[in-house]
Amino acid sequence: MSEKHHEAKRKIFAGAALVMASLAATAQAAAADFYTGKSINFIVGGSPGGGYDTYSRTLARHWSRFIPGKPSIIVKNQPGAGSGVAAGLLYNTAPKDGLWIGALFPGAIIGPILDPRPNMKFDPSKFIYIGSADAGTRICITGPKSKIKTFEDAQKTKTIMGASQAGGSTRDYAYMLNHTGGAKFDVVSGYKGSRAIFLAMERGEVDGMCGLDWSSMKSQKGDWVRDGKVNILVQAALDPEPELDKMKVPSIWKYIKNKDDIKAVKLIVSQQVFGRPYVAPPGTPADRIKQLRDAFMATMKDARFLADAKKAQLSIEATPGDKVNKLIDDVFAAPKAVVERAKSLIRK
């Protein structure tokens, strides 16, 4: 090939590269133009002051710095039905424009599998997952006024456990351990989140609660942990939490002997892998999802955010949005027999 032809090819490649760079710059500018001067509505499916609220507000203070155009992020609480109210709003009502996102309880995501209800107004498998801030471990605890100090105590003596409504982990995990671990938890439902249950524990209305995230325990009642005022009866996770292991907190697998129960409990506990999930409504434009996902993961690695999270005693073990979507698909593909068993375990 002649030198003239080589030169012509180089000019073509150079021109193509300029075009691609121009298109990328144009796309970035369009993204910045879209978000500039706008506000993102961040719907939290839990009560103010709870663990999910603390995570979301900490994230909101930093996330905007990494989104093109730096929109403001306004956190709004929409508790109810174990995040079902917030999920329904995002799924059915919220505009699909990249300006609406939500923080949902994992229980609301696997709810249609484990606790289907005829009035369910959303399909969690169709949400677009932006990411998860933590892969958590859940615990059962009793407070300083309770006579129940160990899980073995709870197997012998009735223990009053506060809980939210159906679909919340504080209710589901208590029933799960009654059915599989021989606990004698007397579940009192209807509290508006973990903060209200902590107050009930302080008043002596209830002994404790189950299904509480370990990170929430540390962020809401770190002084109880520090001063030995809380009794951590058991930890629930696919793998033991090292920090709790050092504290000699037993794992649920010590108490569950039935092989079918073990499979079903693993399905229930798998939701903790996406312990702090953030979602966008189905139909949100793909380019804006990418921007939100990229900004989310950048925030998870940001020194200022991590310092803020540490100050609030929040555990950060981030999972990218595409991986969360894959995990959700796997959960929804669980064998029917395992699903049916799991359903029975979280009922009264």
* Average pLDDT value for residue range 26-53: 84
Q: What local confidence, expressed as pLDDT, does residue 168 receive? A: 81
* Average pLDDT value for residue range 84-111: 94
Q: How confident is the model at residue 25 (pLDDT cuts 50, 70, 90)?
A: very low
Q: How far is CA 75 from CA 55, 125, 232, in A?
A: 11, 24, 31
Beta bridge partner(s), residue 187: 161
- With a cut of 70, say whether residue 7 has pLDDT above it: no
138-271 is a CATH 3.40.190.10 domain: yes
Please give the model's pTM, rounded to 2 decimal places.
0.74
* Average pLDDT value for residue range 138-154: 97
Tokens of 52: 């999910």
Q: Does residue 178 contact residue 195 with C-beta atoms inside 8 Å?
A: no
Q: What local confidence, expressed as pLDDT, does residue 110 receive? A: 85
Q: What local confidence, expressed as pLDDT, does residue 167 receive? A: 66
- With a cut of 80, say whether residue 12 has pLDDT above it: no
Tokens of 175: 């029933």
Q: What local confidence, expressed as pLDDT, does residue 323 receive? A: 92
- What gap in Å lies between CA 302 and CA 59, rounded to an integer? 11
Q: Closest Cα to residue 283, out of 73, 140, 122?
A: 122
Q: Closest Cα to residue 341, out of 273, 269, 268, 235?
A: 268
In the chain, what are the domain boundaries?
1-35, 39-135+276-345, 138-271
- What gap in Å lies between CA 54 and CA 60, rounded to an integer? 10
Q: What local confidence, expressed as pLDDT, does residue 50 receive? A: 87
Q: How confident is the model at residue 15 (pLDDT cuts 50, 70, 90)?
A: low
39-135+276-345 is a CATH 3.40.190.150 domain: yes
- With a cut of 60, say whether residue 91 has pLDDT above it: yes
User: What is the CB neighbour count within 10 angstroms for residue 189?
Assistant: 15
- With a cut of 70, say whether residue 8 has pLDDT above it: no
User: Please, what is the average pLDDT of the chain?
Assistant: 90
Q: What local confidence, expressed as pLDDT, does residue 6 receive? A: 54
Of 69-78, 138-147, 195-204, 266-275, minimum mean pLDDT range = 266-275
Domains 39-135+276-345 and 138-271 share a fold: yes
Residue-wise pLDDT for 279-315, tens only, equals: 999 999 999 999 999 999 999 999 999 999 999 889 8
126 contacts: CB under 8 Å, gap ≥ 6: 91, 282
- With a cut of 50, say whether residue 24 has pLDDT above it: no
* Average pLDDT value for residue range 48-59: 93
> Which is more confidently placed, 23 or 147?
147
- With a cut of 90, say whether residue 21 has pLDDT above it: no
Q: Position 245: which residue type? A: D
